[in-house]
Each structure stands twice: as C-alpha cells, then as structure tokens.
Amino acid sequence: MHLHHLRAAGVSVVLECPPGALPAILHWGPDLGPLGGDDLEHLAAELRPRSDQTVEVPIRTAIVPEARTGWMGEPGLSGHHDGGTGWSPAFTDVTCEQHGQRVVAAGGDPHSRLGLTVTVELDPSGLLRAQAELRNGHDLPYTLDALNLVFPVHGNPTELLDQAGRWSKERVPQRRALTVGTHLRENRRGRTGADAATVLFAATAGIGFRRGEAWGVHVGHSGNHRHYAERTATGRTMLGGGELLLPGEIVLAAGETYRTPWVYATYGRGLDEAAHRFHEHLRARPAHPVRPRPVVLNTWEAVYFDHDLDRLLELADRAARVGVERFVLDDGWFLGRRNDGAGLGDWYVDPAVWPDGLHPLVERVRTLGMEFGLWVEPEMVNPDSELARAHPDWMLKAGDRLPPPARRQQVLDLTDPDAYAYIKERLLALVGEYEIDFLKWDHNRDLVDAGSTAHGGRPAVHAQTEAVYRLLDELRAAHPRLEIEACSSGGARVDLGMLQHTDRVWASDCIDPVERQDILRWTAQLLPPELIGSHIGAERSHTTGRRHDLSFRAATAFFGHYGIEWDLTSLTGAELDELAAWVALHKRHRELLHTGTMVRVDDTPESVRAHGVVAADASEAVYEIAVLGRPATWPPGPVRLPGLDPETVYRVRPLMPFTSRGAAPAWASGELELPGSALAAAGIAAPPLFPEQSVLVHVEAVSTTA
C-alpha cells in the first residue's frame, strides 16, 4: 500500500509513498477519522497537487523536496560530488515500510550513488517528527551544503508567528503576514541563541492560545540551524528546517553518512494545544524527571565571586530554614576565578579560597538535608588560564587567528580527543569526589570563526555540538542520579536537542517578574513548567533595577522548577518566614503544577495577564492573574478561567491573602462556587491590584452538575 494514515490525539497525517519516489505528506492536521482504503484513495486524489505552468506534470513535493521534479522552492538536499556532479539526484529506487506510527522510506539514486533514508513518526501526543540520513556510496567525496525536512500546510494560514529576543529578554513573540516568498530564520551562533525562532508557526488569522489553527516546526538541534516558511505562487505553504552547515563542514567520504537532527511539527487548534503536544512528548521520555522537582537555591546573585566559607555556610543554613532542597554553588570556586576574566578550563577547586576543598560546605549542605549542585562551563576557556597556556591549540579558531574574544573567553575544541578527554576526566573527578547531584552547565558565548585545529581548520560547529551531546551522555551514564541544567547566557540554548541530554533549562538571566511573565509564557510554547528553572530574586532586580514585592516575585516563579536567587543572609526573620510560606505552598501544589495541563488566557483586560495549570482529571487548577501596568480604564474587567470541566462545580479562592487597591472581589472570601462552563465563559472579577502585582487563584471541584 502506498498510502499511510497515521492518527494520534486528534491529528492525522497521510503519507504517500508510491514506488520509485520519496514520501510526501498529503495531509497534516485535524483527525480525518478511521478512513478505509477506498476512502483514503479518494481523499488522496483530492489532495494531490495539480499541474501548473512550470512543467507538464503535477509537481510532487516530498518531505525532502527535489528540484528535479520541477519544484521551484527551497530544495531539501543541496550538495555535490567533487567536480560538480551529483548535484541534482533523483531518488527513484525507493522502498517504504510502516511500523505502527512510524514510516521509513529508503531510497537511492543509481547515478549519483547517494542513498537517502527518511523516517517519519507520529507520537502518541500528536507531535509529528521527521529525520533524514544521507549516505555517499560513490568513490568521490560528497560535499553536503544542506539537508532540510519540509512539512506542507494544507489549511488556510494567513500569518506567521515565531520568537526573537536578546540576552535577558528571550522569546519575544513576533507576528507578520504570510506572503509569497520565504521567511527565513537562520541561527549562526553555534548555539540555539536568545534570538531563536523556537517554534515557527503558520496560522490562521488572529491565532490565539485557544482559538484558530496553527502549524509549527521546531528544529531539535543546539548548534547552527534554520527554520523557514515558504509560500509559492501556486499557493502552497511549506514549513521546513534543519541544521545550518558551514562551508565544507560536512564532506562525506565513500560509505560515510550524515543524519539530520529531528525536526518536529505540531498542529493545534490554538497555540495551547500545539504546545501541549510538545509537553506530552517530553513527559513521555524515559529519562523525564518523575520525582518532585527539588526547590533550588543558587548562589550567584547572593555572593557572585565572593566565595567565603562562613558566609556560604550561613546561606546554606537559611536556605534549609525556608525549605530549599538543592543548594547550588555558582561560579567562582575553581583555580584563579576571582572574576570572569580568568580560570575557565582549570577545573580544580582553588586551594587559595577553599583550603579544605568544597568538603566543609558540601558536608553542611548534606547535613541540612539538601542536595549539592555545582556551576561549570566546560565548553569554554579563558586565555588567562593554565589550560590555555599549556594547550593554546585547544581553542576553536579559523587558521592561525583566534576569534574575537567575548566575555574574555574562547571556545574549547571538544572535537580534539585530548581536550575532550581532559574535560571528561575533570568533570567525572569532581562529580565523584563530592557526589554532586546537579550541574548547572553554562555556555556564555557564541561560536565565531569556529574552526578546529585538530581537523585542519575546518568548520567544527556540527562536530562540537555532537561532542557536547556525547559528553553529557557519558557523564549521566557514569552517574545515573546526576541532573544537569542547560544554561547558556540564560536562555540561549532552549531546544529539544539539548533536552535529550539534560533535565531542565535556565529560561533567562533576568528574573525580574515583569520580564519573566512573558519569558515564561512563551518558553512554555515548547517546554512544560517542570523543565523551566523559575527562581525568586531579590527585591531589587539585578538585571533591570526594578523593585517588587515578594508576593509578585514568588507568584510569578510559582509554576516552574521553583528556586531562589537571593542573598538570604540579608533577610530579617519575618522575611524568611514569608519566603518559607511561599516555598511550602509551592511544595503542596507542585505535583499539580508539574503534571497538569498548561493554559494561557486570551482576551484578558488591558494590562492583565492570566495563565494556569489544570489537573489531568480537571479536579483542580491554579491560575495566576497579574496586573502588569496602569490601564486606561478601571477597574479591570473579568478574567476567564479556561480548561476546566464544564459540568463540574468548582470553589474559587485565593491561594494566599492579597491586598486590593479597591473592594476585594467576591471570590476573595473563598465562598464562590460556579460550574466550569461559567468560569470559562464569564470568568471571575479581576482583582484590583496595584501595577506589577499578582494573585494566585485555586479552583477545586466540589460537585458535578451532570
């Protein structure tokens, strides 16, 4: 059978795999129901492309589009053999097999002697993903320029939505009209980037969290990559992506292969449903964290480089007092590291600061019942370090020149076997000696002019990325209990490639709650809350200088992997008690927060944000309602609470007491009871808060109207 119908969680994918041709997607979107063979054939006849004025036969656009068919858009495969041959292969010797929800097509071109295998699978969550592998069977080397995977959109999208951003302001949504031509988002930073597209959507007009239709793609890769949307003059809309390869980066000798990263495709009736597919896919991973996410204290904004044992011991004591479960020592513990200009690469505990090693601190932390974590930046090296002086050839560079410095550091060449072995030995030694539970794995600069001396100066971003993945996997294999956070100048490496090897991400170095409202809101388009580090900062934000009440800071951080980034030694007893109450409240609700279904609210009153998490059985939910600015009208209107069971009656109450600017809404007394249908359609009165304040709302089932 040359038609394959994959179905899961309200999504259908119809693949056509005729003899002698690569597979093409005829439908990706709403579930088509249990179509029989004849029905599927009739539908396919309607969905196949018609002839246009380019060539005299219908142009068939495979998952890896081929220019030789007459396709005038971006080709899926670009490259050539030495001498310029093999640049337009025809994969006509193709076989296709279905195994459950996975279809594997293997094709070859007898003339160019290239082989291509394409794997397409539909996850139980309804998330579609595809991967391709190219093999060179020719005696001549094959230079690969690009290998992209493409998903056609068969609805009627009219706009594009993706993300942009910068350091400390990541994942800023941006919208534009979908027009004829190509919208291309290329990342050449050697890491995912704070300005990454994250998920590129083609959507119907006015797409919202719970309205409209959205088709999106995400490239699960942490090095250079590209996302693009292409609309042709014939009206076809395509979403595509893959790894972005530098000139000459991949040259396949006879018998060698190249495999693309997974490219993920999500469809949803609204952006929330599209996000849920990513969340469910991640939660189903065998390595997904299942135990309660421990509350973290990270020392960076508490002490910076000022590592004084007595002060850190007091900080640990106070962390335990407020309920912290994981104490993380940040930057400044290793040789010569008194500022960010020296020491990277010298991964030995500095005896000038730690004469007894880290043991006194680790022992206190463990005695207090907390796990111990440590900050590292293994992929980087300061020129002012013993490592750089001993091995100047262990830095990525093009030819004999170093790239321009960034943060007074360079990138360690992990494609060099000796450099890789050194870093692996140092990390294993540290984790083993101190029985480290958690590594905050940082990465603080882009890869510029990233060539490898060990490989003749050739571009090395691809090989460097693969080496990092391998290093992470080998560490976790040696220490199965070890958890690792992906941090990269804050949130510059948030992607599903890195999440295959780590346990959470640091969303941003900015923990100002106003900024974090949107950073967390849009990071959730890809990741569920339990994978997003979400910390309470000091009263005065270290990145913006703004001041906020603890209630706003704590409520904003509440839904993620909870933590604290604050000098607790500066707090009064009353302040510590207030913080402890927030930590205890989070612990009571974190199972719901980290297993439930995320909802983001459309059409809130001016300057108001609202979002929440609903339990899988809809028995309860927690929402946050935040007032971020000073609206032109007052008081604010009602806020709908979506995602609840319409036939269940719920009691609505605040989770913590709050101070209103005016009369408190009726539900503040905890006596309001309404069915889920009413809460979703009419909502509750928004609390009249001061700007930059929020309240948490608990909704609990009390009876059913059925």
CATH assignment at residue 538: 3.20.20.70
Flag whether pLDDT at 171 surpasses 60. Answer: yes
Active site residue 509: yes
In a domain, 644, yes or no: yes
Mean pLDDT, range 572-581, rounded to an integer = 98
Of 496, 463, 461, give the one whose Cα is nearest residue 187: 461
Among 456, 474, 503, give the residue marking a domain's end. 503
Write the CB contacts of 514 (distance below 8 Å, at least 6 apart in sequence). Answer: 544, 546, 548, 628, 692
Does residue 117 contact residue 108 with C-beta atoms inside 8 Å?
Answer: no
What gap in Å lies between CA 211 and CA 273, rounded to an integer? 10
Q: Tokens in use for 344? A: 């990277």
Mean pLDDT, range 693-699, rounded to an integer = 97
Flag whether pLDDT at 619 surpasses 80. Answer: yes
In a domain, 676, yes or no: yes
Hey, what amino acid is at 706? Answer: A
What gap in Å lies between CA 67 and CA 55, rounded to an integer? 12
Given this model, what pLDDT does residue 49 score?
75
Confidence tier at 56 by pLDDT (50, 70, 90): low
Residues 414 and 495 in one domain: yes
Given this model, what pLDDT does residue 20 score?
86
Confidence tier at 51 by pLDDT (50, 70, 90): low
Residues 230 and 354 in one domain: no
In a domain, 237, yes or no: yes
Given this model, what pLDDT does residue 638 score?
96
What gap in Å lies between CA 332 and CA 339, rounded to an integer? 7
Residues 43 and 146 in one domain: yes
Task: Count the domains in the chain.
Answer: 4
Segments of 450-560 assigned E as strands: 451-452, 458-459, 483-486, 504-506, 532-537
Mean pLDDT of the chain: 95
Q: Tokens in use for 379? A: 């992929």
pLDDT higher at 72 or 296: 296
Does residue 111 contact residue 90 with C-beta atoms inside 8 Å?
Answer: yes
Write the CB contacts of 635 (distance below 8 Å, at least 6 apart in sequence). Answer: 662, 685, 686, 688
Ramachandran class of 558: left when φ > 0, alpha when ψ lies in -120 to 50, beta otherwise? alpha
Residues 246 and 375 in one domain: no
- As a residue count, the chain comes to 706
Alpha helices in 295-346 (DSSP H): 300-303, 309-322
Flag whether pLDDT at 85 surpasses 90. Answer: yes
In a domain, 594, yes or no: no
Catalytic residue among 123, 272, 442, 495: 442
pLDDT higher at 656 or 557: 557
CA dist 537 → 457, 551, 576 (Å): 43, 11, 13
Residues 684 and 668 in one domain: yes
Confidence tier at 327 by pLDDT (50, 70, 90): very high
Does residue 237 contact residue 153 with C-beta atoms inside 8 Å?
Answer: yes
pTM of the full predicted structure? 0.97
Q: Tokens in use for 207? A: 């797409």
Mean pLDDT, range 46-51, rounded to an integer = 76
Active site residue 195: no
Give percent of the chain with pLDDT exceeding 90. 89
Among 455, 478, 503, give the residue marking a domain's end. 503
In a domain, 268, yes or no: yes
Mean pLDDT, range 432-450, rounded to an integer = 98
In a domain, 550, yes or no: yes
Residues 341 and 453 in one domain: yes
Complete DSSP assignment for 244-279: PPPTTSEEEPTT-EEEPPPEEEEEESSHHHHHHHHH
Does residue 662 contact residue 627 with C-beta atoms inside 8 Å?
Answer: no
Give percent of the chain with pLDDT exceeding 70. 99
Q: Output the domain CATH number for residue 257.
A: 2.70.98.60
Given this model, what pLDDT does residue 53 score?
64
Given this model, what pLDDT does residue 37 score?
80
Given this model, what pLDDT does residue 547 score?
97
- Give the range of the structural domain holding residue 624, as residue numbers without chain letter: 599-704
Hey, what amino acid is at 217? Answer: V
Name the packing angle between helices 573-595 and 309-322 (round to 10°).
60
Flag whether pLDDT at 675 surpasses 80. Answer: yes
Among 589, 607, 639, give the residue marking a domain's end. 589
Given this model, what pLDDT does residue 226 score?
98
Mean pLDDT, range 248-264, rounded to an integer = 98
pLDDT higher at 67 or 411: 411
Residues 297 and 358 in one domain: no
Given this model, what pLDDT does residue 705 score?
65
In a domain, 72, yes or no: yes
Helices (H) and strands (E) in the chain, counts: 12, 40
**pLDDT tens column, 187-229:** 999 999 999 999 999 999 999 999 999 999 999 999 999 999 9
Flag whether pLDDT at 706 surpasses 60. Answer: no
Confidence tier at 546 by pLDDT (50, 70, 90): very high
Q: Which of 23-37, 427-441, 483-497, 590-604 has the lowest mean pLDDT?
A: 23-37
Mean pLDDT, range 348-376, rounded to an integer = 98
Does residue 122 contact residue 137 with C-beta atoms inside 8 Å?
Answer: no
Residues 320 and 331 in one domain: no
Task: Give the position of tokens 């995912």.
Answer: 192
Confidence tier at 167 by pLDDT (50, 70, 90): very high
Does residue 373 contact residue 326 with C-beta atoms inside 8 Å?
Answer: yes
Residues 269 and 165 in one domain: yes
What gap in Å lies between CA 457 and CA 450, rounded to an integer? 9
Q: Output the domain CATH number for residue 651.
A: 2.60.40.1180
What gap in Å lies between CA 266 and CA 18, rounded to an integer? 25
Segments of 472-523 assigned E as strands: 483-486, 504-506
Helix, strand or coil, per DSSP, at residue 125:
coil
CA dist 198 → 116, 203, 257, 515 (Å): 27, 15, 27, 18
Given this model, what pLDDT does residue 1 score?
58
Q: What b/e sequence results for 142-158 when a residue is b if at least 16 CB atoms lie within 10 Å of its CB, and e otherwise? A: bbbbbbbbbbbbbbebb
Q: Any long-range contacts for 108-113 (C-beta under 8 Å, 24+ apart)?
A: 108/137, 111/86, 112/81, 112/85, 112/86, 112/138, 113/86, 113/137, 113/138
What gap in Å lies between CA 171 and CA 181, rounded to an integer? 24
What gap in Å lies between CA 704 and CA 700, rounded to an integer? 12
Residues 553 and 607 in one domain: no
Residues 74 and 115 in one domain: yes
Confidence tier at 234 by pLDDT (50, 70, 90): confident
In a domain, 217, yes or no: yes
Hey, what amino acid is at 588? Answer: R
Of 278, 692, 360, give the one whose Cα is nearest residue 524: 278
What gap in Å lies between CA 377 and CA 493, rounded to an integer? 13
Flag whether pLDDT at 605 surpasses 60. Answer: yes
Computed from CA positions of residues 108, 109, 110, 114, in that sequence, does the dihedral angle turn out positive or negative? negative
What gap in Å lies between CA 91 and CA 107, rounded to an integer? 6
Q: Which of 153-157, 433-437, 524-528 has the lowest mean pLDDT?
A: 153-157
Given this model, what pLDDT does residue 704 score?
77
Does residue 605 contact residue 637 with C-beta atoms inside 8 Å?
Answer: yes
What gap in Å lies between CA 442 and CA 434, rounded to an integer? 19
Burial of 253: CB neighbours in 10 Å, binned 0-12, 13-18, 19+: exposed
Q: Tokens in use for 542? A: 């270290």
Hey, what amino acid is at 243? Answer: E
Name the packing angle between helices 513-523 and 550-557 (round to 10°).
10
**pLDDT tens column, 266-307:** 999 999 999 999 999 999 999 999 999 999 999 999 999 999
Flag whether pLDDT at 42 surpasses 90. Answer: no
What gap in Å lies between CA 213 and CA 156, rounded to an integer? 9
Catalytic residue among 272, 331, 509, 645: 509
Flag whether pLDDT at 121 surpasses 90. Answer: yes
Flag whether pLDDT at 39 surpasses 90. Answer: no
* First-to-last C-alpha distance (Å) of the chain: 46
Burial of 534: CB neighbours in 10 Å, binned 0-12, 13-18, 19+: buried
Q: What is the number of other CB atoms lying within 10 angstroms of the CB of residue 49?
A: 15
What gap in Å lies between CA 677 and CA 513, rounded to an integer? 31
Task: Give the position of tokens 């459950």.
Answer: 100
Mean pLDDT, range 527-539, rounded to an integer = 98
Q: How far from chain centre, in Å, is Cα 638? A: 32
Ramachandran class of 29: left when φ > 0, alpha when ψ lies in -120 to 50, beta otherwise? left
Residues 93 and 109 in one domain: yes
Given this model, what pLDDT does residue 282 score?
98
